[in-house]
C-alpha cells in the first residue's frame, strides 16, 4: 500500500509513521509536512533513511503539489493541522487556512483521483464541553465546538463527511481525546510542565485547575487509527479515548511527585478564555466493532513519558531556545 501522511513531522503523525513502517514494512509512506513551529524532522530520525519513506516539505493548501503527490496513492492519513487551542485564541487565521481549506484541498485531490481512501484525524473537542456529571462523548454527540481551534476541526470533519455523502469518497474519521507521549511539542500541558520542572521553572496552571481531560498514550491512539483504517466502516466516525479522566490539578500533582517537586512550583495564572470544562470519551463502539481498547495504563505511560523528556533534553532544549522562547515570553511574560 502507498500512503500519503500529512503532518507526519508533528507529534502524533511522526509516531504514526514510525509505528506503521515498523508494522507494515512493505508499505510506502510519503510524509507531506510544511514544518511549522510544531513540525520537527528530529522526530523521524530512526526512519529517515528507510527506502519506503519519503519526506516532502510542502503545504497541504498547495493544490498543484497535492494533486501531484496523490497520483498512485491508496490511502491519505490526514494529521496536518494547527493544533494548539491557546494559539487559536490569539489568532485563528492559520487554523482556518490549514485545518479547513487544507482539508478541502486534500479531499478534492482524493476525489479527482479515483480509488483513494481518506482517513481524517480529528479531536473530541468538536463535541464541546461536558459538565462534571454529563455522560461521556460518543459518536452520536452533536457537534458544539467552543474554541476557534475546535471550530476549525469541526468544519473539517463536516467537509470530510460531506465528500462521502456528495461524492461517495471513501472516508473514515477518528475523534480522539488528549494525547501524551514522547516528541510532544512543549506548549501542551504535559511536556510544558515536565520540561519547565526539569529546567527548575514554575508551571502555569490555568484558572482553578479543575478542568478535566481524558488522556491517552499516543501509541494507543495510533493503534486505534490503524484499526479504523483496516476494519472501520466507510463513512463512519470512531471515538478513541484513554479512559483516564484527570483534572489538571491531579495531573500536576502526579508530575510534581514523579519529578520530586512540591506545590510551590505551581503558578496559578489567568484562565484560558472559553476554557472547556471537561472532555471524556465513551469507547463502546471501537471496543465492540474493532476490538480496540487502550493498552497503556496512565501510571506506566506518564512515567515512560517523563523519563523520555529526562533522557532527551537535547530534543526539547533546541525547541525551547528557539522560536518557542519568544512565544513563551509573550504568553507568560517570563
CA distances from 270 to 75, 128, 208, 283, 304 (A): 43, 21, 9, 33, 30
Q: What is the nearest approach in angstroms of ligand TDX to the Cβ of residue 71?
A: 30
Q: Which one, of 31, 36, 109, 42, lies nearest residue 70 by Cα? A: 109
Q: Say if residues 115 and 168 touch (Cβ distance below 8 Å).
A: no
CA distances from 238 to 82, 130, 187, 292 (A): 21, 19, 27, 11
Only segment of 201-209, 258-266, 287-295, 321-329 that touches ligand TDX (CB under 6 A): 201-209
Residue 189 touches which of ligand NAD, ligand TDX, none (Cβ within 5-8 Å per kind): ligand TDX
Out of 66, 77, 205, 290, the residue judged to bind ligand TDX by CB under 6 A: 205
Contact between 178 and ligand TDX per CB under 6 A: yes
Contact between 123 and ligand TDX per CB under 6 A: yes
Contact between 34 and ligand NAD per CB under 6 A: yes
Instruction: Considering the complex, state which of residue 28 and residue 245 has its C-beta at the smaller distance from ligand TDX.
Output: 245
Out of 87, 120, 136, 188, the residue judged to bind ligand TDX by CB under 6 A: 188
How many C-beta atoms surround the C-beta of residue 203 within 10 A? Answer: 19
Contact between 80 and ligand NAD per CB under 6 A: yes
Q: Burial-class residue 133 by CB neighbours within 10 Å (0-12, 13-18, 19+).
A: exposed
The separation between the first and the last C-alpha atoms of the chain, rounded to the nearest angstrom, is 48
Q: What is the nearest approach in angstroms of ligand NAD to the Cβ of residue 67?
A: 15
Residue 80 touches which of ligand TDX, ligand NAD, none (Cβ within 5-8 Å per kind): ligand NAD
Contact between 179 and ligand NAD per CB under 6 A: yes
The alpha carbon of 36 is separated from its chain's Cα centroid by a whole number of angstroms, namely 15
Contact between 201 and ligand TDX per CB under 6 A: no
Instruction: Considering the complex, state which of residue 78 and residue 213 has its C-beta at the smaller distance from ligand TDX.
Output: 213
Contact between 237 and ligand NAD per CB under 6 A: no
Nine-digit cell string for 139: 459518536
Instruction: Considering the complex, state which of residue 83 and residue 129 has its C-beta at the smaller distance from ligand NAD.
Output: 83
Q: Say if residues 36 and 78 touch (Cβ distance below 8 Å).
A: no
List residues with catalytic annotation.
124-125, 149
Beta bridge partners of 278: 212
Only segment of 136-144, 163-171, 188-196, 299-307 that touches ligand TDX (CB under 6 A): 188-196
Residue 295 to residue 256: CA distance in whole angstroms: 24
- Name the residues that contact ligand NAD, by CB under 6 A: 6-7, 9-13, 32-36, 38-39, 59-61, 79-81, 83, 98, 102, 121, 123, 153, 176, 178-179, 185
Amino acid at each position: 500500500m502507498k500512503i500519503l501522511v500529512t503532518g507526519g513531522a508533528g507529534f502524533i503523525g511522526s509516531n504514526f509513521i514510525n509505528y506503521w513502517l515498523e508494522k507494515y514494512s512493505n508499505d510506502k509512506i510519503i510524509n507531506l509536512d510544511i514544518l511549522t513551529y510544531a513540525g520537527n524532522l528530529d522526530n523521524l530520525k530512526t526512519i529517515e533513511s528507510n527506502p519506503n519513506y519519503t519526506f516532502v516539505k510542502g503545504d497541504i493548501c498547495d493544490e498543484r503539489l497535492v494533486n501531484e503527490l496523490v497520483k498512485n496513492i491508496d490511502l491519505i492519513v490526514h494529521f496536518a493541522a494547527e493544533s494548539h487551542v491557546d494559539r487559536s485564541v490569539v489568532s485563528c487565521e492559520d487554523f482556518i487556512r490549514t485545518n479547513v481549506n487544507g482539508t478541502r484541498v486534500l479531499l478534492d485531490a482524493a476525489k479527482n483521483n479515483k480509488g483513494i481512501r481518506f482517513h481524517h484525524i480529528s479531536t473530541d473537542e468538536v463535541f464541546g464541553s461536558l459538565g462534571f456529571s454529563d455522560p461521556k462523548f460518543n459518536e452520536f454527540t452533536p457537534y458544539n465546538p467552543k474554541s476557534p481551534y475546535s471550530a476549525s476541526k469541526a468544519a473539517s470533519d463536516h467537509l470530510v463527511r460531506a465528500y462521502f455523502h456528495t461524492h461517495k469518497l471513501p472516508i473514515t474519521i477518528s475523534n480522539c481525546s488528549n494525547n501524551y507521549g514522547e516528541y510532544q511539542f512543549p506548549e501542551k500541558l504535559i511536556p510544558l510542565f515536565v520540561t519547565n520542572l526539569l529546567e527548575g521553572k514554575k508551571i502555569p496552571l490555568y484558572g482553578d485547575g479543575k478542568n478535566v481531560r481524558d488522556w491517552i498514550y499516543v501509541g494507543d491512539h495510533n493503534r486505534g487509527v490503524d484499526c479504523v483504517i483496516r476494519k472501520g466502516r466507510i463513512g463512519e466516525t470512531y471515538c478513541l479515548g484513554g479512559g483516564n479522566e484527570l483534572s489538571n490539578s491531579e495531573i500536576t500533582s502526579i508530575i510534581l511527585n514523579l519529578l520530586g517537586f512540591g506545590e510551590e512550583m505551581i503558578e496559578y495564572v489567568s484562565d484560558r478564555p472559553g476554557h472547556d470544562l471537561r472532555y471524556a470519551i465513551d469507547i463502546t463502539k471501537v471496543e465492540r466493532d474493532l476490538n480496540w481498547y487502550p493498552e497503556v495504563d496512565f501510571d506506566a505511560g506518564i512515567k515512560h513519558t517523563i523519563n523520555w523528556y529526562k533522557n532527551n533534553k537535547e530534543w526539547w532544549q533546541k525547541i525551547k531556545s528557539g522560536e518557542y522562547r519568544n512565544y513563551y515570553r509573550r504568553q507568560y511574560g517570563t
